[in-house]
Structure 1
């Protein structure tokens, strides 16, 4: 293999620049990397000299900010460093054994269903793979896949940020959650038209809130929202207390709230479109073998719907 020219800068210099930019100050980078501030500052200065461009602006009161050239260098440098780390891991693994970290993004209401399977089953099969969890709403996940902060994510199919690669795991229609003594609890199904004059407990976390309100708006209805919460379990707890009804997608085998009050689930009539749950991963770079193995494992799981 022919190499045109060996570069005059090192991966260490690039890592110093990336870390200082991420943390915002040279002193914070020095603390994280356990080196002196002068070592990082001198390294960045030398890197700028070799690149022939100013990569950052350093202000004592305002920290460190990348220039346009610095952002370009940092983005490509991250890929180089990741590739170097993968090379090292590949050389250290035995007989094709998978090793290294995977950062998994997961929508909070999916976490109780998705993560235990992955942590238990995949973790047992590949003990040298470290699974790190980031629970976040889908709107906050935008850009994290492309930047490499998250390797793979489990989300609802609606409002998936960017243009990632994707595979569907399963699909559930939304349902109505009621207190066990609710007047509608004896019905087989519930119409949205019958709910609009009653208090709703809204799961106010994108994309759940948009999906729920969209179902009503498609039928020309405006629900009466009494309380908003970003917590799936708070919705169930308030509903069980008789403070309103809820509309949720995720299904649990537990038919009681945290406080032990019983809940009932009713299907919506006419039936609403199921919402798919997907695994997504970046389209701007190839997935490393351990991430591919995790995706294949997730797709192969029998995600049984339990009502």
Structure 2
């Protein structure tokens, strides 16, 4: 009877991380046929498939495979800790960065570039998610660091503020409010609004209006930032977003303008967060420091925060 070894667990985790046998084999320095044979033996021993195999698509974990890979990663970390002198922390082999979906187009590429340069021996992967999924991933240890807005996080999370953003109103150029250099929530409360359908995002926006004694009128809840921008550019309402890009057209070619909302209560911190405080001089601590420097925007008018005149 075959008993699984730590090497078998390592094989499973590598395939789960890379999504392909060829990439995992290269990372493990084994041949692809040997890895494929070992994976088949692991699944045969367990009596269940760990991966879904479809021609032309990356390998993906089955629900059982997801649970097994998560437990296997913990086992590998425990083994590494046992072998380390004085019970030192295990060597981190992969780093998972989460990012709120609306922020990802602005921050994900530079974050990956800097982290891969700083940690060439690590596998750096990313997850682009909504607020609730990011928090769940951090709590369950599936995400190491996340770039997001400071919504829905309790005192158990470490925060590093990298920006404070004002929301933008998205309008057609011929809208009567488009002539203003800034707008207030009171002015926008009289207009039909296009908001994100993301749970915490829309709750946050509605709470801002409520704090000022205002009752907004929502015409649409958009499934994505580009849908929101398109609806606003086609006159379906005034869009509100913290992450609107500094471009003057929507995907369908319609002209659109971005005007900052000036209410101080609407400023929202952009943060890098982890669940718990990373140990000093650890990979996570160094990664957090690198990201805070890389993603901190330049002076107003450039960088992460779009210019209202663009």
The two structures share one fold, judged by TM-score above 0.5: yes
For residues 172-202 of structure 1, the C-alpha deviation after alignment (integer angstroms, 9 at most, x for no partner) is 1222111111111012222322333321111
Deviation track 1:177-234 (CA, whole Å, cap 9, x = no partner) reads 1111111101222232233332111112133212211111112222111111131111
Instruction: State the TM-score, normalized to the length of structure 2.
Output: 0.68
Distance 1:36 1:123 in 2: 31
CA gap of 1:193–1:130, structure 2 versus 1, over 3 A, is same
**Once superposed, what is the RMSD of the aligned Cα atoms?**
3.8
Change in CA separation of 1:84 and 1:169 when aligned onto 2, cut-off 3 Å: farther
What is the rounded CA distance, in whole Å, between the counterparts of 1:178 and 1:299 in structure 2?
Answer: 32
Runs of 4+ in 1 over 6 A off after TM superposition: 74-77, 86-89
Match of 2:290 in 1: 297
1:121 aligns with 114
Aligned residue-pair number:
253
**Match for residue 82 of structure 1?**
77
**TM-score, normalized by length of structure 1?**
0.69
In the alignment, which residue of structure 2 is the partner of 1:183?
A: 176
How far apart, in 1, do the equivalents of 2:140 and 2:189 lie?
42
CA distance in 1, matches of 2:169, 2:263: 13
Name the stretch that deviates more: 198-207 or 235-244. 198-207
Unaligned stretches of 5+ in structure 1? 1-8, 23-29, 42-62, 65-70, 90-97
Decide whether the 8 Å contact of 2:193 with 2:220 is kept in 1. yes
Instruction: Specify the alignment match of 2:152 in structure 1.
Output: 159
Q: Classify 1:180/1:142 alpha carbon distance in 2 versus 1 (closer, same or farther; 3 Å).
A: same
Aligned to 1:209: 202
* Higher percent of residues as helix: 2
Contact between 1:139 and 1:161, CA under 8 Å: does it hold in 2?
A: no
Which residue does 2:24 correspond to in 1? none
Are 1:40 and 2:46 an aligned pair? yes
Q: Is the 8 A contact 1:235 1:246 kept in 2?
A: yes
User: For the structure 1 residues 38 and 124, does the alpha-carbon distance in structure 2 shift closer, same or farther, using more than 3 Å as the test?
Assistant: closer
Provide the rounded CA distance (Å) in 2 between the counterparts of 1:85 and 1:252: 44
Alpha-carbon offset, residue 116 of structure 1: 1.4
The answer to whether the 8 Å contact 2:279/2:285 transfers is no
> Quick check: which has more Rg, 1 or 2?
1
The Cα shift of 1:141 comes to 2.4
SS in 2 for 1:121: helix
1:93-242 to 2 correspondence within 5 Å? 100-160=93-153, 163-242=156-235
SS at match of 1:220: coil
SS in structure 1 of the partner of residue 229 of structure 2: helix
SS at match of 2:292: helix
Contact 2:161 2:272 in 1 (8 A): yes
Q: Contact 1:173–1:272 (CA<8 Å) still a contact in 2?
A: no
Stretches of structure 2 lacking an aligned partner (at least 5 in a row) = 17-35, 48-62, 85-90, 299-304
Closer, same or farther: CA 37–241 of 1 in aligned 2, 3 Å: closer
Q: Is the 8 A contact 1:99 1:126 kept in 2?
A: no
The separation in 1 between residues aligned to 2:122 and 2:177, in whole angstroms, is 48
Match of 1:250, SS state, is coil
Question: Contact conserved, 1:141 with 1:161, CA < 8 A, in 2?
Answer: no
